[in-house]
Amino acid sequence: MRKIIHIDMDSFFASVEQRDFPEHVGKALVVGHRGPRSVVAAASYEARKYGIFSAMPMSTALQKCPHLIVMPHRFDAYTEVSRNIRNIFHEYTDLVEPLSLDEAYLDVTDAKKGPASASLIAKEIKNEIKKRVGLIASAGVSYNKFLAKIASDMDKPDGFFLIKPADAESFLEDLDIGLFYGVGKKTEEKMHKMNIFKGRDLKLLTRPELIQHFGKAGIYFYDVVRGIDERSVVSFRERKSIGAERTYETDIFDIDEIKEKLTEVINIMWQRCEAKQMIGKTITMKLRFADFTTITRSNTHNQIFTKEKIKITLIDLLPNEEIKERGVRLLGATMSHFKSENKQDQKQLKIDFDFNEFD
């Protein structure tokens, strides 16, 4: 069972403005500008009490609250906060997948530090963010991304919400369909017309029926309403390269043996790439001679590599004469320059989500 946390900053842009301009704390404030076609990018909780929400036309917001404070965007400030909170996340796990500047999934199944319980880690991270960044976050904890994401929304602001595996299905049966991650306004309307209001209603439809009505997203809806979401938390930092290397007990001078050993290393690297469903455009060979001098040789392809293509390419790059003279003690192969990231996640991204990005 995995332990997944979703962290979401509360009213992010507006909170950064209130932090940096304390005279606006406790006041109705939005981020945006006063132009005729302008919309609200973010609203403070005080502004929300006036019925002001993100994506609302600025003119409407000003009608609802004439003394509304309108602050211009400061993307540099938001990006800096984003970097700081990600650094905190990475202290706990390497598996951090940002969804936007102020949101990320963390897989803390094998956390690097902190308590054993994911709930306690989530609370600790919330505290660290408050202490070091001066902002409030909400956290959702569960055993997959879908549930953790929904959980972080359940108790906002300054929220903490845990969905235990045993409670997931009944929780989802009672949940309004509009609160399912991936069900936006249009899909919600469509589902309401089909008499689907709660998770329990969605569960009555078969897989083929859902595919018929919602296409690929139907497969997703069928799974998630049953608490199933196998998508892994994929860290962008981890995506830079995947490789394998082997050090040999005795130095190798024989070219045929080197080819054989290189093939083994490539096979291991390829298995790792396949496991992550990531195939890159650049392949690099590392070769350490008996005297510890190390060379690398790379080749970049425009089309996707196959395992056979990698073998042919790297064997072709072997410095045969040098190997015969100097002997080899280490061989490595690395794939990088990933074109398509995790295929499963890409598939997921293609689902037509029409939710509001700023919420």
Confirm or reject binding of residue 42 to Mg ion (CB under 5 A). Answer: no
Question: Could you tell me the CA-to-CA distances from 132 to 29, 81, 87, 128 in Å, in that order?
Answer: 23, 10, 11, 6
Q: How far is the CB of 101 from Mg ion (least distance, A)?
A: 9
Element (H, E) at 46: helix 45-48
What are residue 242's DSSP bridge partners? 335
Return the number of the residue (9 or 234) whose C-beta is nearest Mg ion.
9
- Marked catalytic residue, from 97, 103, 124, 188: 103
Structure tokens at 332: 């490595």
Return the number of the residue (257 or 359) whose C-beta is nearest Mg ion.
359
Confirm or reject binding of residue 138 to Mg ion (CB under 5 A). Answer: no
Confirm or reject binding of residue 139 to Mg ion (CB under 5 A). Answer: no
Is the Cβ–Cβ distance between 17 and 29 less than 8 Å? Answer: yes
Confirm or reject binding of residue 229 to Mg ion (CB under 5 A). Answer: no
Q: How far is the CB of 322 from Mg ion (least distance, A)?
A: 56
Q: Is 257 a catalytic residue?
A: no
Question: How many alpha carbons fall within 13 Å on the CB side of residue 75?
Answer: 2
Question: How many alpha carbons fall within 13 Å on the CB side of residue 31?
Answer: 21
Q: How far is the CB of 359 from Mg ion (least distance, A)?
A: 7
Return the number of the residue (184 or 319) whose C-beta is nearest Mg ion.
184
Residues 97-126 that bind Mg ion (CB under 5 A): 102
Is the Cβ–Cβ distance between 259 and 318 less than 8 Å? Answer: yes
Distance CA 284, CA 334 (A): 5
Task: Tell me the pairing of strands 328-340 and 279-289.
Answer: antiparallel
Stretch that binds Mg ion, among 4-12, 71-79, 170-178, 248-256 (CB under 5 A): 4-12
Buried b (16+ CB within 10 A) or exposed e, 1-30: ebbbbbbbbbbbbbbbbbbeeeebeeebbb
Q: How far is the CB of 137 from Mg ion (least distance, A)?
A: 8
Confirm or reject binding of residue 82 to Mg ion (CB under 5 A). Answer: no
Q: How far is the CB of 136 from Mg ion (least distance, A)?
A: 10
Confirm or reject binding of residue 81 to Mg ion (CB under 5 A). Answer: no
Stretch that binds Mg ion, among 11-19, 31-39, 61-69, 151-159 (CB under 5 A): 11-19
Return the number of the residue (9 or 108) whose C-beta is nearest Mg ion.
9
Structure tokens at 37: 């076609």
Is the Cβ–Cβ distance between 331 and 289 less than 8 Å? Answer: no
**Cβ-based burial of 59 (10 A; exposed 0-12, middle 13-18, buried ≥19):** middle
Position among 3, 5, 6, 8 found at the interface with Mg ion (CB under 5 A): 8
Return the number of the residue (73 or 309) whose C-beta is nearest Mg ion.
73
Return the number of the residue (41 or 323) whose C-beta is nearest Mg ion.
41
Q: Whose structure tokens read 């993307």? A: 75
Q: How far is the CB of 304 from Mg ion (least distance, A)?
A: 36
Q: Binding residues for Mg ion, how many (CB under 5 A)?
A: 4
Residues carrying an active site annotation: 103
**Interface with Mg ion (CB under 5 A):** 8-9, 12, 102
